[in-house]
Structure 1
Amino acid sequence: MAQPGDGTTRTPARRRPSPAALALVIAVGVVALQALLVPLFSAPAAKIEPRDLPVVVAGPAPAADGFAGQLESARPGAFEITRLADAAAADEALRDRDAYAAFVVGPDGLTLRTAPAASPTVATLLTQASAQMNGGQPVRTVEVVPLDQDDPRGTGFASGFLPLAITSLLAGAAIYFATRGRRPRLAGLVGYAVLAGLVSAAVLQIWLGVIPGTYLANAAAIGLFTLAVAASVAGLASVLGEAGIGLGALVVFLIGNALSGVSSAPQLLPQPWGEVGQWLPIGAGGTLLRSTAFFDGAGASRAVWILAGYAIVGLALVALGRTKAEAATPAPAEDKVATTV
């Protein structure tokens, strides 16, 4: 007990919650998180359908205009239609990633020109839709931008991309815990991204053969994506401590993966979530790698800027955040003036 006149006071000790109460709080928190994550993953997958999906209708004006009107009436709000003159212009739009497919109306009837490399799911959906629009008869289909012949259904691309996100998240956390200074952390993050880009591109392109394109361009795309994820997690940890890793995992991976559209397309997800997903690292990373692998970089600009923004902000947080040594050092206590009675 404090003695009268000794100038000291004591605060009563805080009562810790019982183990049973703590376990109950954890259980309630995890169930609440499940209640949020289950619809986040399930709803987009269960409600995949075209929403303002960019497509082209090409051909002579009377017939093409009539088909465009028929398309809009059959699926209101499903398509964002651009009218072009002919198949050559339509193919150019597909290669520039301005559209996912083109309906070409010509003397021989309707032809569907697709870009499965942009989204095999969209190509399949539009093949089925074109048959319905053609009275149930199959429509001649031309693949303008096909998938790699070693990954004809596109599942290898989507399945191979997800581990890049998981390992980058783990790399950001591991670098934060394993290094104590700012410079070692920054060097570790940049070094990881360079190695991840070079090695992962070699695995996906040379070993597995699921992506074509220029090796160095694919390596640069993967390197930027992995840096964006790892730097974001390490940066949040540098500012918020271990809670920052949890926040990074929640936003960058769990939410970002559910809304990424990597295995389908952003325009197939409920809006605005498909668009939101493209502003998160996994969605932007998937778009960027598709662009470098299949489209010679077309349509990559926004994804590059988004990923560069995450990387720069993450590295800045690492540079400005407190190191573990600083966090462990208690703040200097104020000088106390001893009082006597």
Structure 2
Amino acid sequence: MPRQGRPPLLIAVLIGVGIVVVQALLVPLFAAPAANLGPRDLPVVVAGPAPAADALAAQLAQREPGAFEITRAPDAAAADAILRDNQAYAAFVMGPAGPAVHTASGASPTVAQLVGQAATGMNAQVTDVVPGSPDDPRGAGFASGFLPLALTALAAGAALALLVRARWARFTGVLTFGVLAGLVGPLVLQEWLGVLTGDYLLNAAAIGLFATAVAGIVAGLGAAVGRPGIALAVLLVFLVGNPLSAVSAAPELLPQPWGAIGQFLPIGAGGSLLRSTAFFDGAGAAAPAWVLGAYALVGLLLALAGGVRTRTVAAESADAEHVAVAA
């Protein structure tokens, strides 16, 4: 007598309950970081003569304890050098004419806006030392344009894992996608939409490395583990990595340690790397490049190992069939 399966009504109810549970987990994951933006150890510079600069640094620390990580600089030129090296988001400069605020909106338009509001209360003049794109002053185009890069890389990795069984073909597919995504991405974001500035080849390298990392880890986990591996990669890269990426804000504005964790995930590292190449001539690119390089390397190795596993399983199946026929 055939075994009865689960009733369709029960399956339908379980699906509904399961998806609502996932929804209940995803909503705070996406909404909580955005709802709790605020400076937390935000790197800033205080520059100027010792008595006035010391007083300003103490005032900043007292006004918002834990909000700023303050670096001292002797003058405005030294402070601007720190900003151009992508080591701080803003500088408070005490000069003969009074206080001034220097920002680096290329690093984060959101932080530049917050600091600009603080400058208004200080009656300080604001100078943008490292501006973002003039066609995207609020950075909305950068953040919105970066998300499709992640989604298409996820799709490419999943398709390669599901449709390509040969290990070297899958390996080549990941690299091909990464190179082409790197070449085409700046054509759209920089030459067409104008949301990026800087050197085309540097931006292409950043986008290409990001695309290879995401597609590689998805294809690699999919090849090594199967469909659960693809689901795990999507969870890691997008469902967790996207809300913690701070692409539209800054890692130091997110509740900690989530902002720091997001920089060790592909989307957060990719956004930071592209900002470095687009607005800072590559300054500050080393850390996110190493993170993405590690994901790309692990993904490609898993893609090859998955090919070995698939071939071994197929060989064992063929041997079993041969033994059965011989018997």
TM-score by length of 2: 0.94
Cα separation, 2, equivalents of 1:129 and 1:74: 11
Equivalent residue in structure 1 for 2:52, among 47, 63, 82: 63
Distance change in 2, residues 1:208/1:37 (3 Å): same
Which of the two has higher C-alpha Rg? 1
CA contact (8 A) 2:119 2:125 kept: no
Partner of residue 201 from structure 2, selected from 200, 213, 216 = 216
How far the C-alpha of 1:25 sits from its partner, in A, is: 2.0
Matches within 5 A, 1:1-341: 15-132=4-121, 134=122, 138-322=123-307, 331=317
Secondary structure of 2:242 counterpart: helix
Q: CA deviation at 1:131?
A: 2.7
Question: Cα offset for 1:19?
Answer: 1.8
What is the rounded CA distance, in whole Å, between the counterparts of 2:88 and 2:226 in structure 1? 44
CA contact (8 A) 2:198 2:281 kept: yes
Runs (5+) with no aligned partner, structure 1: 1-11, 337-341
Aligned-partner Cα distance in 1 for 2:43–2:234: 32
Q: Distance in 2 between matches of 1:267 and 1:246?
A: 29
**For 2:190 and 2:96, how far apart are their aligned partners in 1?**
41
> CA separation of 1:303/1:14 partners in 2, compared to 1, >3 Å: closer, same or farther?
farther
SS of match in other structure, 1:254: helix
C-alpha displacement of 1:129: 2.0
Q: Cα distance, 1:309 vs. partner? A: 0.3
CA displacement, residues 55-107 of structure 1 (integer Å, 9 cap, x when unaligned) = 00000000000010001000000000011100000000000111100000111
CA displacement 1:229-249 (0-9 Å, x = unmatched): 001111111111111111111
Deviation at 1:325, TM superposition (A): 6.7
Q: Deviation at 1:108?
A: 1.0
In terms of mean alpha carbon deviation, does 294-303 or 29-38 score higher? 29-38
Determine the C-alpha separation between the residues in 2 that align with 1:275 and 1:180: 36
* Alpha carbons of structure 1 residues 244 and 78: separation in structure 2 relative to 1, 3 Å: same
Per-residue CA deviation, residues 96-141 of structure 1 (Å, 9 max, x unaligned), is 1111000001111110000000000000011112333x2xxx4200
Q: In the TM superposition, what is the alpha-carbon distance from 1:297 to its structure 2 partner? A: 0.6
2-structure distance, mates of 1:127, 1:64: 19
Return the offset for 1:16.
Answer: 2.6
3-state SS in 2 of match to 1:98: coil
| Displacement after TM superposition at 1:324 (Å) | 5.9
Letter in 2 for 1:114: T
Q: CA deviation at 1:177?
A: 2.2
**Aligned-partner Cα distance in 2 for 1:115–1:188:** 38
Instruction: Give the drift of 1:328.
Output: 6.5
- What fraction of aligned residue pairs are identical, expressed as a percent? 60
Question: Any gaps of 5 or more consecutive residues in structure 2?
Answer: none
Amino acid at match of 1:191: T
Deviations 1:121-162 (A, max 9, x none): 000011112333x2xxx4200000011111121111111111
Partners of 1:168 and 1:146 in 2: CA distance: 29
SS in 2 for 1:112: strand
